[in-house]
Amino acid sequence: MTERHEQVSEPDTDFDRLIAEARQCHRCPLWQQARQMVFGEGPLDAETMLVGEAPGDREDVLGHPFVGPAGHLLDRALQDVGLDRKGLYLTNAVKHFKFEPRGKRRIHQSPVASEIKACNVWLEAELALVKPKVIVALGSVAARGLTGHVVRIGASRGRPLPFGETSLLVTTHPSAILRMEEPEKSENYALFLEDLRLIPALIAHDSS
Ligand code: URA
């Protein structure tokens, strides 16, 4: 398995060069507010790529994807279905945190279509490098970043779509589950697990 790249020391691989380039990205205004660009992480030969929306507050501070509350829920779900996070490539459709300052707090804002489109060049580059067999879009921003159009989660979940050489699985974003009240929360968590459980069969299907 190719080594995980969490920090860039020497830009001497295609991946390192990509990150170095993305760090200079001014394709949309989000770089001005965020502390840093948060690139994807994971094995470069991962069979599964999980795509989220954009880094949140913790991700912006720490510089890694899915390390805040949504990441903790994702970790729990991966554990519940027996998937090892270390074997997955995790990234976001948009690589800078978007927020509205409110006093000392930074309130998350969803990226708009122009920001998703501007950031697509990095997601495309990650897809070209990793060449996953299965792509999981976590929420509508990720689905839009990948497909270029609006995807309704309810209508698409549980039904993987062909996506180039790969399968695209569209499911709920863990942050959306966190915001729900019971019993909707538990119901949606169970549906999220059902979707994640499809991954091994999709990989096996692709390999056959
Ligand atoms: N939400 C996302 O979509 N991505 C992250 O990395 C964190 C929270």
- Dump pLDDT digits (tens) for 31-50: 999 999 999 999 999 999 99
Mutate to test the pocket of ligand 1, among 35, 41, 61, 66 (most ligand atoms within 8 A of CB): 66
User: Could you give the percent of the chain with pLDDT greater than 90?
Assistant: 87
- The DSSP result for 99-132, as a single string, is EEEETTEEEE-PPPHHHHHHHHHHHHHHHHHH--
- pLDDT number for residue 15: 95
Q: Which atom of ligand 1 is nearest to the CA of 92?
A: 4
- Enumerate the β-bridge partners of residue 120: none
Position 6 in a domain = no
Mutate to test the pocket of ligand 1, among 53, 64, 74, 144 (most ligand atoms within 8 A of CB): 53
Position 2 in a domain = no
**Residue 121's domain spans which residues?**
13-207
- Enumerate the β-bridge partners of residue 107: 100
Q: Residue 161's domain is classified under what CATH number?
A: 3.40.470.10
206 pLDDT band (50/70/90 cuts)? confident
Domain count, the chain: 1
CB atoms within 10 A of CB 19: 21
Position 161 in a domain = yes
Ligand 1 centroid from CA 208, angstroms: 32
Kindly provide the b/e burial profile for residues 113-128, where b requires at least 16 CB atoms within 10 angstroms of the residue's own CB.
Answer: eebbbbbbebbebbbe
Position 7 in a domain = no
Please name the residue ranges forming H helices in the chain: 14-23, 57-62, 69-80, 113-130, 140-147, 153-156, 174-179, 184-196, 199-207
- pLDDT number for residue 37: 98
Position 100 in a domain = yes
User: Does 11 sit behind a cis peptide bond, omega within 30 degrees of 0 on the bond before it?
Assistant: no
Dihedral-angle region of residue 135 (phi above 0 means left; psi in -120 to 50 means alpha; beta otherwise)? beta
Ligand 1 centroid from CA 93, angstroms: 9
Position 99 in a domain = yes
pLDDT in tens, 47-65: 999 999 999 999 999 999 9
1 pLDDT band (50/70/90 cuts)? very low
Ligand 1, pocket residues at CB < 6 Å: 52-56, 59, 65-66, 68, 70-71, 92, 175
Position 4 in a domain = no
Position 1 in a domain = no
- pLDDT number for residue 158: 84
